[in-house]
Amino acid sequence: MHLTSSFKKIIKRLTPNFFLKAMMKFEYPVLKILYKYFSRPVTQLETAKAKTRRFNEKFFSKYCNGSGLDIGYGGDILINGCRGFDFEHGDAQYLKGLKAESFDYVYSGHTLEHMVDESLALKNWWRVVKSGGYLILYIPHRDLYEKRKSLPSQWNPDHKHLFLLDKDEEPDTVGVVPLIAKSLIGYEIEYAKVCDEGYVSHGPNSHSDGEYSIEVVLKKMG
């Protein structure tokens, strides 16, 4: 049975990172089989937190028309009618089996930090966006979410990178805008911003509430 989100939070607080990694090795193969043959449970995660803000900003009417793909959705789909893609469907870094320029918009919420090669992942996500379509990135902000300047993450041992909006910092921090510039061509940045709607920090060693993310919308130019 899939661990509930509240129970997972307790486990993460009480268990060292190396034990968490070992648990994940056993949990993911089991869940992959379950999710492949049964529906993934609907949950409210990071994407759900941003829903009201995005409605107010007319985000959905501007950027989420036509066929959509939500990479790493985790049961928290961006919008009804959008196709979810998670580990039971394949490796998000490659999106094997998905044709080039097959989606009007591609969204990824809190997934890029899990990719071994974040630049290669962006290139493959960009590959499946139609000309004139949008790639939408929603990524945990290092200082708002991680609250530390180097790995490991205190919240998820599978995080492989930390992110700031516009600058790289050694040893583990990637600037999202510079990453896009070196990874992609033929794009226009609609906007790139820090989203902290309802943000409340409970100290450096406690998880925060509200939004604590970087949001970027890229338009694919023809």
- 3-state SS class at 207: coil
Q: What proportion of the chain, given as a percentage, has pLDDT over 70?
A: 86
Mean pLDDT confidence for 96-105: 97
pLDDT value of residue 1 = 31
Total-model pTM: 0.86
d(CA 35, CA 94): 20
- Measure Cα distances from 151 to 80, 106, 113, 124, 162 in Å: 35, 28, 11, 25, 7
129-140 burial by CB neighbour count: b if 16+ within 10 A, else e? Answer: bbeebbbbbbbb
Fold adopted by 43-220: Rossmann fold (3.40.50)
pLDDT value of residue 22 = 59
Count CB atoms within 10 A of the CB of residue 73.
23
d(CA 128, CA 93): 12
Residue 26 has pLDDT above 90, yes or no: no
Count CB atoms within 10 A of the CB of residue 185.
9
How is the chain split into domains, by residue range? Answer: 1-38, 43-220
pLDDT interval class at 34 (50, 70, 90): confident
pLDDT interval class at 217 (50, 70, 90): very high
Residue 2 has pLDDT above 90, yes or no: no
Task: Provide the 8-state DSSP code for 100.
Answer: T
Q: What proportion of the chain, given as a percentage, has pLDDT over 90?
A: 80
